[in-house]
């Protein structure tokens, strides 16, 4: 347990999220109703104490942070300050204060805990945005690296990675075209629920009977959304059908769904059409032919691991051989752009098992590979069972996957992070140059509106002139979505201009 006293400020949420880099989430207690530190120091505490104090005087902001380690009967302290322009707006000042507090606390806790935290003070999902922002300011490469290392306290290799990915993304993101949008369509069914999953998916064993009714409701939303996009004169750049596992639908249902999409929307500007065919036990030659004939240009076949013992452990109903057969079928049908996903740090997996997975994937030679680091997500089975990871090799695993991707000619093209990731690391999408997934880039960098349809789908409406984004969520619950589907397009209509 660690008690944290905030004096002179009340950024309770931000500090809690930051402290999770160093302490288990359930061991942090934050106290804000303290005037000064005198009373704290006079009391006898049985755990670590952190006193974080903020003062502003004569346009100088000072952060003073102290950690008192009761067991060692000593303390460490950092004092950092910045000068601000008296005419600076309030939003900018708050941002500077938060950076100062986190930087000061980070330096203090690093000396105490000596943890490997490669992403420094960053806790957000989309760190590549920072590199883009610095590039927009016409900073040189060296200036960008220096800024990321000195201000955000990133390890240099992560700063270089952000810059590399930002450069690869920019031709897809810029110039910003406010009339372009992408579509996301949710098929929230899965053969089974994986232990790490937090997506709004429904197992077929329980919800099979609702598939037909769900599609009818979805078509109502698609029709109304198509009219809205036509009315607003938007051009559709990409389509992404995800879930769940869209290929849980049978062949006729897939054909009808994609046919309905094609008939409803003007797709003359479409550059990419992705369907997640993630589970090999949901794929057959007939479904793949339908996808190819209907104009789908990119699919995902996601093993997560090529070790059968782990597949069983995580709740998959297929083997590694099934993955290989599904991939070879897709290639035979003529798919050129196939993505595969793997997850590092799955329960029971070690480095030798990862190497086996990477060797098997290398034989298949996909032109897209997304490398995820396991995250203990809220509402997942892992989280509900209070799973505690003992994998001390996760940093090595990430490095091994990187080396394999380099040897396969795959380059990193998008990156994102999640809360409660093992090792505080990242997820990286790799691709053979020219085969990058445009949708993945757009959803991460948030410079293009994503219009989402289906249960649990979330639209993101971008206002680039205002540097603003509005999230417009659909209802998650399958039954409630079907009952109230008429409301979903109306929610989007409020924001789409």
Number of domain units in the chain: 2
Residues 351 and 217 in one domain: yes
The mean per-residue pLDDT over the stretch 354-375 comes to 97
Residues 108 and 182 in one domain: no
| Dist CA 125 CA 139 (whole Å) | 23
Per residue in 51-78, pLDDT tens?
999 999 988 999 999 998 766 566 788 9
With respect to residue 157, please indicate whether it lies within any of the assigned structural domains. no
Q: Which residues touch 51 (CB under 8 Å, ≥6 apart)?
A: 5, 7, 37, 40, 64, 65, 66, 68
With respect to residue 131, please indicate whether it lies within any of the assigned structural domains. no
Residue 389 — very low, low, confident or very high, per pLDDT cuts 50/70/90?
low
With respect to residue 322, please indicate whether it lies within any of the assigned structural domains. yes
Indicate the range of 59-63, 154-158, 374-378 predicted with least confidence: 374-378
User: Which range of residues forms the domain containing residue 213?
Assistant: 176-495
Per residue in 210-231, pLDDT tens?
999 999 999 999 999 999 999 9
Per residue in 288-315, pLDDT tens?
999 999 999 999 999 999 999 999 999 8
3-state secondary structure of 370: strand
Residue 200 — very low, low, confident or very high, per pLDDT cuts 50/70/90?
low
The mean per-residue pLDDT over the stretch 201-207 comes to 82
With respect to residue 448, please indicate whether it lies within any of the assigned structural domains. yes
Residue 108 — very low, low, confident or very high, per pLDDT cuts 50/70/90?
very high
Residue 455 — very low, low, confident or very high, per pLDDT cuts 50/70/90?
very high
Per residue in 263-291, pLDDT tens?
999 999 999 999 999 899 999 999 999 99
User: Cβ distance 413 to 432 under 8 Å?
Assistant: no
**What percent of the chain lies above the pLDDT cut of 90?**
76
CATH number, residue 274: 3.80.30.20
Residue 169 — very low, low, confident or very high, per pLDDT cuts 50/70/90?
very high
Per residue in 245-264, pLDDT tens?
999 999 999 999 999 999 99
User: Cβ distance 404 to 362 under 8 Å?
Assistant: yes
The mean per-residue pLDDT over the stretch 480-493 comes to 96
CATH number, residue 13: 3.30.160
Residues 69 and 209 in one domain: no
User: Cβ distance 180 to 235 under 8 Å?
Assistant: yes
Residues 83 and 187 in one domain: no
With respect to residue 168, please indicate whether it lies within any of the assigned structural domains. no
Average pLDDT score, the chain:
92
Q: Is the pLDDT of residue 343 over 60?
A: yes
CA distances from 170 to 65, 136, 370, 417 (A): 39, 11, 19, 20
Among 72, 91, 115, the domain boundary falls at 115
Residues 232 and 320 in one domain: yes
| Amino acid 437: pLDDT | 98
User: Cβ distance 188 to 314 under 8 Å?
Assistant: no
Residues 265 and 398 in one domain: yes
447: left (phi over 0), alpha (psi -120 to 50) or beta: alpha
Residues 219 and 330 in one domain: yes
Indicate the range of 81-85, 228-232, 382-386 predicted with least confidence: 382-386
Residues 449 and 327 in one domain: yes
With respect to residue 75, please indicate whether it lies within any of the assigned structural domains. yes
| Amino acid 323: pLDDT | 97
Residue 381 — very low, low, confident or very high, per pLDDT cuts 50/70/90?
confident
Residues 225 and 371 in one domain: yes
| Amino acid 419: pLDDT | 83
Q: Give start and end residues of each alpha helix (H) in 298-344.
A: 308-314, 320-333
| Amino acid 4: pLDDT | 93
Residue 107 — very low, low, confident or very high, per pLDDT cuts 50/70/90?
very high
| E strand intervals along 265-331 | 272-276, 298-300
Nearest partner of 25 among 383, 394, 420, 373, judged by Cα: 420
Q: Is the pLDDT of residue 384 over 80?
A: no
Per residue in 2-32, pLDDT tens?
999 999 999 999 999 999 999 888 899 999 8
| Amino acid 73: pLDDT | 60
Q: Quick count: other Cβ atoms within 10 Å of Cβ 378?
A: 10
Residues 64 and 204 in one domain: no
| Amino acid 390: pLDDT | 63
With respect to residue 337, please indicate whether it lies within any of the assigned structural domains. yes
Residues 256 and 351 in one domain: yes
Q: Which residues touch 409 (CB under 8 Å, ≥6 apart)?
A: 432
| Amino acid 65: pLDDT | 93
């Amino acid at each position: 347990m660690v008690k944290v006293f905030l004096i002179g400020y009340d950024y309770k949420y931000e500090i809690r999220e930051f402290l999770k880099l160093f302490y288990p989430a359930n061991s942090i207690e934050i106290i804000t109703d303290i005037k000064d530190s005198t009373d704290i120091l006079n009391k006898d505490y049985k755990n670590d104490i952190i006193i974080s104090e903020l003062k502003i005087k004569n346009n100088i902001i000072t952060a003073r942070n102290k950690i008192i380690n009761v067991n060692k009967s000593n303390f460490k302290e950092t004092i950092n300050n910045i000068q601000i322009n008296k005419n600076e707006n309030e939003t900018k000042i708050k941002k500077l204060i938060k950076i100062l507090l986190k930087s000061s606390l980070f330096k203090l806790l690093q000396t105490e805990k000596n943890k490997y935290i490669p992403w420094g003070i960053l806790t957000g999902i989309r760190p590549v945005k920072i590199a883009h922002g610095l590039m927009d300011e016409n900073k040189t490469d060296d200036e960008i690296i220096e800024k990321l290392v000195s201000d955000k306290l990133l390890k240099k290799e992560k700063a270089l990675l952000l810059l590399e990915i930002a450069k690869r993304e920019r031709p897809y993101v810029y110039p910003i075209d406010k009339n372009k949008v992408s579509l996301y369509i949710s098929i929230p069914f899965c053969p089974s629920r994986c232990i790490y999953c937090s997506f709004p998916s429904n197992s077929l064993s329980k919800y099979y009977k609702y598939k037909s009714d769900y599609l009818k409701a979805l078509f109502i939303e698609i029709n109304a959304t198509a009219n809205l996009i036509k009315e607003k004169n938007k051009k559709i750049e990409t389509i992404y059908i995800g879930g769940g596992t869209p290929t849980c639908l049978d062949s006729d249902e897939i054909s009808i769904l994609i046919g309905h999409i094609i008939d409803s929307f003007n797709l003359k500007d479409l550059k990419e059409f992705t369907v997640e065919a993630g589970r090999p036990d949901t794929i057959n030659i007939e479904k793949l032919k339908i996808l190819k004939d209907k104009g789908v240009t990119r699919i995902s076949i996601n093993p997560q691991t090529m070790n059968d013992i782990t597949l069983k452990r995580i709740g998959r109903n297929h083997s590694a051989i099934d993955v290989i057969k599904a991939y070879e079928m897709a290639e035979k049908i003529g798919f050129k752009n196939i993505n595969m996903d793997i997850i590092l740090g799955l329960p029971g997996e070690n480095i030798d098992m990862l190497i086996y997975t990477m060797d098997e994937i290398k034989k298949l030679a996909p032109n897209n590979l997304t490398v995820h680091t396991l995250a203990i997500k809220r509402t997942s089975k892992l989280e509900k069972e209070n799973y505690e990871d003992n994998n001390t090799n996760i940093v090595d695993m990430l490095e091994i996957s990187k080396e394999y991707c380099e040897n396969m000619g795959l380059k990193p093209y998008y990156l994102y992070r999640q809360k409660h990731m093992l090792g505080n690391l990242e997820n990286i999408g790799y691709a053979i140059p020219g085969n990058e997934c445009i949708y993945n880039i757009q959803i991460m960098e948030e410079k293009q509106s994503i219009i989402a349809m289906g249960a649990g789908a979330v639209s993101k409406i971008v206002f680039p002139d205002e540097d603003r984004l509005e999230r417009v969520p659909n209802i998650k619950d399958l039954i409630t979505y079907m009952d109230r589907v008429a409301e979903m397009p109306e929610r989007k209509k409020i924001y789409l201009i």
